[in-house]
Amino acid sequence: MNTQRLQLGTFGTNLAPGITFTTIPGALTTEWSRVKDLALRAEAMDFEAIVPISRWKGYGGEHNPHSDAYETLTWAAAVGAVTTSARIFATVSMPVVHPVIAAKQMATIDHVTGGRSGINVLAGWFRPEMGMFGTDLLPHDRRYDMADEWLAVVKQAWSDPEEFDMHGEFFDLSGVFSMPKPLSERPRIMNAAMSGRGLEFALQNADQIYIKLNDDRDAAAAQVADIKRQAREKYDRDIEVWTFGYVVDADTESAARDFLQDYAGTHGMHDAAVNALKIMGVEAEVAGDNTTAARRFNWVAGDGGVPFVGTPAQVADGLEWVSDTGVDGCLLGWPLWEEGMTRFSERVLPLLVDRGIRVSH
Ligand SMILES: Cc1cc2nc3c(=O)[nH]c(=O)nc-3n(C[C@H](O)[C@H](O)[C@H](O)COP(=O)(O)O)c2cc1C
Span 168-214, pLDDT tens digits: 999 999 999 999 999 989 999 999 988 899 999 999 999 999 998 99
What is the per-residue pLDDT for 289?
A: 67
* CB distance 195 to ligand 1 below 6 Å: yes
* CB distance 91 to ligand 1 below 6 Å: yes
Give the Å distance between the CA of 121 and the centre of ligand 1.
Answer: 9
> For 17-21, 46-50, 281-285, which range has the lowest pLDDT when averaged over its residues?
281-285
What is the per-residue pLDDT for 292?
A: 84
What is the distance between the alpha carbons of residues 114 and 131, in angstroms, rounded to a whole number?
36
Q: Which amino acid, residue 270?
A: H
Q: Are 328 and 240 in contact (CB under 8 A)?
A: yes
Query: Within 13 Å and on the Cβ side, how many CA atoms surround 81?
Result: 6
CA-closest residue to ligand 1 atom 17: 122
pLDDT above 70 covers a percentage of the chain that reads 98
Site to probe by mutation for ligand 1, drawn from 122, 223, 331 as the one with most ligand atoms within 8 Å of Cβ, is 122
Q: Which amino acid, residue 18?
A: G
* CB distance 284 to ligand 1 below 6 Å: yes
Q: How confident is the model at residue 87 (pLDDT cuts 50, 70, 90)?
A: very high
What is the distance between the alpha carbons of residues 288 and 242, in angstroms, rounded to a whole number?
19
Atom of ligand 1 nearest to the CA of 331: 1
What is the per-residue pLDDT for 33?
A: 98
What is the distance between the alpha carbons of residues 228 and 345, in angstroms, rounded to a whole number?
31
The SS3 of residue 247 is strand
* CB distance 239 to ligand 1 below 6 Å: no
What is the per-residue pLDDT for 3?
A: 81
The SS3 of residue 176 is strand
Cis geometry, peptide bond prior to residue 180 (ω within 30 degrees of 0): yes
* CB distance 129 to ligand 1 below 6 Å: no
* CB distance 209 to ligand 1 below 6 Å: no
What is the per-residue pLDDT for 2?
A: 67
* CB distance 283 to ligand 1 below 6 Å: no
Site to probe by mutation for ligand 1, drawn from 125, 142, 197 as the one with most ligand atoms within 8 Å of Cβ, is 125
What is the per-residue pLDDT for 217?
A: 87
User: Is 1 a residue whose pLDDT tops 60?
Assistant: no
> Across residues 55-67, what is the average pLDDT?
98
CA-closest residue to ligand 1 atom 15: 192
Give the Å distance between the CA of 346 and the centre of ligand 1.
Answer: 32
Q: Are 246 and 302 in contact (CB under 8 A)?
A: yes
Q: For residue range 122-164, list pLDDT tens digits in order.
A: 999 999 999 999 999 999 999 999 999 999 999 999 999 999 9
* CB distance 142 to ligand 1 below 6 Å: no
Selection from 213, 95, 73, 87 nearest residue 144 by Cα: 95
Q: How confident is the model at residue 215 (pLDDT cuts 50, 70, 90)?
A: confident
CA-closest residue to ligand 1 atom 9: 54
* CB distance 125 to ligand 1 below 6 Å: yes
What is the per-residue pLDDT for 360?
A: 86
Q: For residue range 244-298, list pLDDT tens digits in order.
A: 999 999 999 999 999 999 999 999 999 999 999 988 877 776 666 666 889 899 9
Cis geometry, peptide bond prior to residue 139 (ω within 30 degrees of 0): no
What is the per-residue pLDDT for 195?
A: 83
User: Is 65 a residue whose pLDDT tops 90?
Assistant: yes
Burial status of residue 355 (CB atoms within 10 A of its CB: 0-12, 13-18, 19 or more): middle
* CB distance 119 to ligand 1 below 6 Å: no
The SS3 of residue 22 is strand
Q: Are 19 and 276 in contact (CB under 8 A)?
A: no
- CA distances, 347 to each of 132, 312, 340, 342, 351 (Å): 45, 6, 10, 8, 7
Selection from 44, 47, 46 nearest residue 244 by Cα: 47
Q: Are 190 and 244 in contact (CB under 8 A)?
A: no
User: Is 307 a residue whose pLDDT tops 70?
Assistant: yes
> Which domains are delineated in the chain?
7-354 (3.20.20.30)
Q: For residue range 314-351, list pLDDT tens digits in order.
A: 999 999 999 999 999 999 999 999 999 999 999 999 99
Give the Å distance between the CA of 203 and the centre of ligand 1.
Answer: 15
What is the distance between the alpha carbons of residues 339 and 352, in angstroms, rounded to a whole number?
19
DSSP per-residue string spanning 308-330: EEESHHHHHHHHHHHHHTT--EE
* CB distance 173 to ligand 1 below 6 Å: no
User: Is 82 a residue whose pLDDT tops 80?
Assistant: yes
Give the Å distance between the CA of 10 and the centre of ligand 1.
Answer: 16
The SS3 of residue 266 is helix
Q: For residue range 113-133, list pLDDT tens digits in order.
A: 999 999 999 999 999 999 999
What is the distance between the alpha carbons of residues 86 and 42, in angstroms, rounded to a whole number?
8
CA-closest residue to ligand 1 atom 8: 53
Give the Å distance between the CA of 231 and the centre of ligand 1.
Answer: 19
* CB distance 193 to ligand 1 below 6 Å: yes
What is the per-residue pLDDT for 287?
A: 62
- CA distances, 75 to each of 43, 83, 106, 107, 338 (Å): 16, 12, 12, 14, 19
- CA distances, 176 to each of 95, 110, 152, 167 (Å): 19, 20, 12, 11
